[in-house]
Structure 1
Amino acid sequence: MDGARDGEEIGPGVGSALERSDPVRIGPYQLLGRLGSGGMGKVYLGRSRTGHLAAVKVLHDQLAEDRAFRTRFVRELNAASRVSGRFTAAVLASGGMDEERLWMATEYVPGPSLNQAVSAFGPLTTPTLLALWLGLLGALESIHAAGIVHRDLKPSNVLLAEDGPRLIDFGISALAGATSLTGTGVVVGTPGYMAPEEVQRGESGPSSDVFALACTLMYAATGTGPFEGTNPMGVMFRVVHDAPDLSRVPDQITALIRPCLDKDPLSRPSVPELINMLPAAETEGVSRLLAHGKWLPDAIRRQMRDHAGKVFEWDGVRPSGRPAARPGHHEDGEPDPHTGTFSEEPPSQPDPTPRPDRTITLGVDGPVREPLPEPPTVSQGSAAAPPNGSPPNPPGPYDAGATGAPEPDPANEASLRTHTLPLPADLPPLPRTPRPIWRRWLPDRRGTR
């Protein structure tokens, strides 16, 4: 599938938001927007519940309804899942044979495709071209080691990341040597990047990917491939019969790609031979740039960082024409079993404890309702008055009447601190008693009673 093509900026543009016809969730991925589309389907940016971004590719319905194609797709996807390498986008998840939609999720690479970068910034410099060459050779080495032929290596299937290029889209790859399920007379690939044996006989092998790699590197160096044209049949004719025009390619790059464009697949060098083709000193410098993320021009790297910020903002935009999802539900209205609802504050419940009756009797004046008083305070060295005229509790060791207790100084306010008694909030007030009854138990501050 081709990535989004936008010559003015890198990454999703204003037309990349989800439409009402787009799904909002595929498998475990919440879809955030469109990354691109092609002849096989659409590519969306998805985010899993664990915060993993992925490129989710959903195939067209007519392809999913074709049982033979579904069988081939699942077979090739299982093969692609075996590929592991730094310069390939790993397959993360996929749908099963019985699902309504055919889909696969691969690692999301936050960078432009090669055709986007060349369209926006022009041909790449020689150091960047050499780094691109080594990175793509590393990707093909991983793919071929898994017994797979890519069959559609082209600029839109090469993504540029700070730590190196990524070769993506194994949607039409096939197991090397396996029986093809493709219909008779059907050509699989992109004109201009197909090897002669693919055009003539429909045969693909590792050497076919080497031919496509050379065409891709020439595009990166000049902005055009070796067999350009508007008529696909004319382009394929030149692939089979004409020599490539390498006059505008830098000499150092020409020496690398010329043997790869041989019409005879047996005459093309293998991937390990191409890796060792660069001089050791040249390979050392290019490997250093790749290892430290310095292989891309500064202009592309700045755009990539801006793009990462735009994707974060893009993540928070609700799909156009869709209402906001209810709490605990997906945007399509289905309940989300992984999401619970909660309130920051629990709902207030009525207090079942009965409020005490605050009506008290004061002598002969009858009942009077009064508010609860503040907790009483006593001075240090003072004893609280006992109810109903009973004798007071004996003084404690720190009471004023105790032997050895410090004598409070009336002139010093600090020595007359008050203490709040820990009484229950609903305790009724103490009965009022005549002052002369309990006053005699208070110590006389002048030393007399």
Structure 2
Amino acid sequence: MAEVADTGLALDVVTVVAPALLLRAATSPLLVRAQQAVRRQALAEPGTPPRRLPGAVVGELVLAVAGGVVLWLLPRYGVLGALADYNVLGRPVLLHNGVLLSGQYGYSLAVSWILYVLMVVLAAVMWPVLWFRTHRTLVATGVPGESWTATPAGRRRVGGLVAVRVVLGLLLPTGLALAALACQAVAYGVSRRYRHGAEVPGAGARVPVGRTPAGGRSGGQSPADRRSGGQAPADRRSGGESPAVQAPGARNPLGAVPPDAPTVGPAPAHPATYVPTQATPAAGALASVPHRPLLPGEPPRIGEYQLLGRIGAGGMGTVYLARREGAATQVALKTINPELMDNVDLLRRFQRESEVLSLVSGAYTARVLDSGVAAGRPYLAMELLDGRPLDVHLGEQGPIRTPEALRALALALAVALSGVHRLGLVHRDLKPANIMLTTAGPRLLDFGIADLVDGTRLTRTGAGPGTLTYMAPEQFGEERVGPAADVWAWACCVVCAAHGTSPFAATSTGAVIRRIVDTGPEPTALAAVRALDPELAAAVDRALTVDPAGRPADGAGLVELLTTRGTGHHEPTLVDDVREEITRGWRTLAL
């Protein structure tokens, strides 16, 4: 009897699970296509539940039903019917218990109850859990923007589907429930390829969760700030999209011209003109940037650019994935929405942004490729960048932990600001969402509210552009805002990179302002920088001086402060040495 007991239940399980796994292996291409379809749909419309089931998913459902019927009949009427007693596995788990198992297989009562509980857990718990993990990976990992599963309605929908599987696990024949668990385990294993944003043929690769592509303004706080309870109200005011967008998986994206070398000397007299690259991109590159289809009524082209899809949209305009006629290179094309074309102030702001971005063509900033007006509609074409914004990186991987990478970030941003300030500009909205971490180094983005130092203002009186937790004290008063405000924001970004949040993050707007103008930065945030690089921490301390006169005057002053390294003389490191230090340090950061 003991020998029968040792093999009977195992043989019954094998009778059902083995054919299920064989069927799953034979239909694995259908599984892969179904997951790709779900993934592609999630990337295309991240905030919207699927309105229809892709054909491959329908095929999977039909296969599940048909396979269940076959597996139900096989042990009874097939060849395997003579190999095992299907009595227990043929009934729902709710209709038998440890006593019945003991009588069926001859196990002791204690062992039988343990086996019964194990069957309940496998059928009604593990199967739903594995389904949930698989589904969550496919629809939420790395999607461009907030996944629909993060909304209350989405959570209720997913919760309902999990509950259905719990009920099925209890009501289906136990053997079929175990077979479903085995197949779901295979599906979960296949879905793990998407856990780190693997590409889907015909769709985009990973885009940071909860963010607009490539460092566009997010309209809210970074995940790290939300964890700390800090607020950034000015983020919610931002309605635009950054014109630069990531092109995943390419060190030199889509044949783009490599970025200029860092310059500490005079700026070039004229920005480089755009010459379309004729190099053929890698296979599949033309479909590699996450985007949505054009909306009904949107033009198929603007000027010489064919519109391939929508990358993002804000209150002011839309960013399209585009390609210039006769060129293989894709660009991010930013334009004002047609209904706002009569807004003179908005047109002037867009024109100023185009001018500013055309001027800022140095290293560690996003490059402008082209600009113009087509049928009265202005546009701006910018390069596609690989990587993701700093705030998204912090939300997904946490603070930067290597001194070399943190210093490389700080130095690259200082070099970028030196180029901006040398042109007589002030960025005025430097924050982690506007810093793209690319394979070639950091890139400073979004000069939409950059202002000329001569005092020309494009914002209303009192509008105070900037993001609250990164704004300098003088931005809250009537003082003229100059490059020193960017130096302050630079220090806040360096601290955020090492700590995870701005040193002035707090639970309310009033608390943030009090910290900035009165109580000072959070000591533990500054300590995070000091623990990694004491010399960099000293530069940060100086850059956070309340009086603008006590800070480095501009980006060039920051570069000088960071490269003298306390030698007692003020001979900045050579440009090539700065570039090499940034490159060497950047290699230590896992992107």
TM-score of the superposed pair, with normalisation by structure 2:
0.45
Q: Deviations over 1:399-439 (max 9, x none)?
A: xxxxxxxxxxxxxxxxxxxxxxxxxxxxxxxxxxxxxxxxx
> Which has the larger share of helix?
2
* Alignment-derived partner of residue 323 in structure 2: 47
Change beyond 3 A, Cα 1:276–1:235:
same
Q: Name the CA distance, whole Å, in 2 between partners of 1:118 and 1:24.
A: 37
CA contact (8 A) 1:148 1:176 kept: yes
* Alignment-derived partner of residue 263 in structure 1: 546
Q: Name the CA distance, whole Å, in 2 between partners of 1:233 and 1:101.
A: 41
Name the aligned partner's letter for residue 56 of structure 1: L
CA contact (8 A) 2:451 2:458 kept: no
SS in 1 for 2:506: coil
Change beyond 3 A, Cα 1:92–1:256:
same
- Structure 1 residue 24 displacement after superposition: 4.2
- Structure 1 residue 158 displacement after superposition: 0.8
**Does residue 78 of structure 1 match 2:361?**
no
Aligned residues: 296
Q: Name the CA distance, whole Å, in 1 between partners of 2:585 and 2:516.
A: 35
Structure 1: where are the runs of 5+ without partners?
301-449
* Alignment-derived partner of residue 250 in structure 1: 529
**Aligned partner of 1:20 among 283, 286, 295:** 295
- Structure 1 residue 211 displacement after superposition: 0.8
Q: How does 1:12-161 map to 2 (within 5 A)?
A: 16-21=291-296, 24-49=300-325, 50-61=327-338, 63-96=340-373, 99-124=375-400, 125-161=402-438
Q: Deviations over 1:135-154 (max 9, x none)?
A: 11111111111111111111
Q: Quick one: percent identity of the two aligned structures?
A: 39
Change beyond 3 A, Cα 1:287–1:78:
closer
Q: Name the CA distance, whole Å, in 1 between partners of 2:418 and 2:311.
A: 27
- Structure 1 residue 203 displacement after superposition: 3.3
Change beyond 3 A, Cα 1:149–1:279:
closer
**Aligned partner of 1:276 among 542, 549, 560:** 560
CA contact (8 A) 1:153 1:209 kept: yes
* Alignment-derived partner of residue 219 in structure 2: none
Question: Which is greater in Rg?
Answer: 1
Q: Deviations over 1:229-286 (max 9, x none)?
A: 3544543343223301142423124222111111111111132332233366897987
Q: Name the CA distance, whole Å, in 2 between partners of 1:12 and 1:32.
A: 21
- Structure 1 residue 166 displacement after superposition: 0.8
Name the aligned partner's letter for residue 274 of structure 1: L
Q: How does 1:183-198 map to 2 (within 5 A)?
A: 183-198=460-475
Q: How does 1:215-364 map to 2 (within 5 A)?
A: 215-229=492-506, 231-248=508-525, 249-251=528-530, 252=533, 253-270=536-553, 271-278=555-562, 287-288=579-580, 290-291=582-583, 294-298=586-590, 300=591
**Aligned partner of 2:490 among 195, 207, 213:** 213
Name the aligned partner's letter for residue 112 of structure 1: R
Q: Name the CA distance, whole Å, in 2 between partners of 1:195 and 1:62.
A: 35
* Alignment-derived partner of residue 374 in structure 1: none
Q: Deviations over 1:2-25 (max 9, x none)?
A: x96579754278984235255543
Q: Name the CA distance, whole Å, in 2 between partners of 1:256 and 1:34.
A: 41
Structure 2: where are the runs of 5+ without partners?
1-142, 148-195, 198-205, 210-288, 567-572
SS in 2 for 1:81: helix
**Does residue 162 of structure 1 match 2:439?**
yes
CA contact (8 A) 2:291 2:321 kept: no
Q: Name the CA distance, whole Å, in 2 between partners of 1:286 and 1:118.
A: 25
Q: Name the CA distance, whole Å, in 2 between partners of 1:184 and 1:177.
A: 16
CA contact (8 A) 2:316 2:336 kept: yes
Name the aligned partner's letter for residue 305 of structure 2: Y
- Structure 1 residue 94 displacement after superposition: 2.4
CA contact (8 A) 1:4 1:36 kept: no
Q: Name the CA distance, whole Å, in 1 between partners of 2:482 and 2:321.
A: 31
**Aligned partner of 2:452 among 161, 175, 178:** 175
CA contact (8 A) 1:80 1:148 kept: no
Q: Name the CA distance, whole Å, in 1 between partners of 2:362 and 2:496.
A: 24
Name the aligned partner's letter for residue 11 of structure 1: V
Q: Name the CA distance, whole Å, in 2 between partners of 1:266 and 1:4.
A: 42
CA contact (8 A) 2:369 2:382 kept: yes
Q: Name the CA distance, whole Å, in 2 between partners of 1:27 and 1:232.
A: 44
Change beyond 3 A, Cα 1:289–1:27:
farther
CA contact (8 A) 1:79 1:146 kept: no
CA contact (8 A) 2:405 2:586 kept: no
SS in 2 for 1:20: coil
Name the aligned partner's letter for residue 559 of structure 2: I
Q: Name the CA distance, whole Å, in 2 between partners of 1:139 and 1:254.
A: 20
SS in 1 for 2:562: coil
Change beyond 3 A, Cα 1:32–1:228:
farther
CA contact (8 A) 1:113 1:155 kept: yes
- Structure 1 residue 182 displacement after superposition: 2.1
Q: Name the CA distance, whole Å, in 2 between partners of 1:219 and 1:259.
A: 16
Name the aligned partner's letter for residue 226 of structure 1: P
Q: Name the CA distance, whole Å, in 2 between partners of 1:76 and 1:70.
A: 10
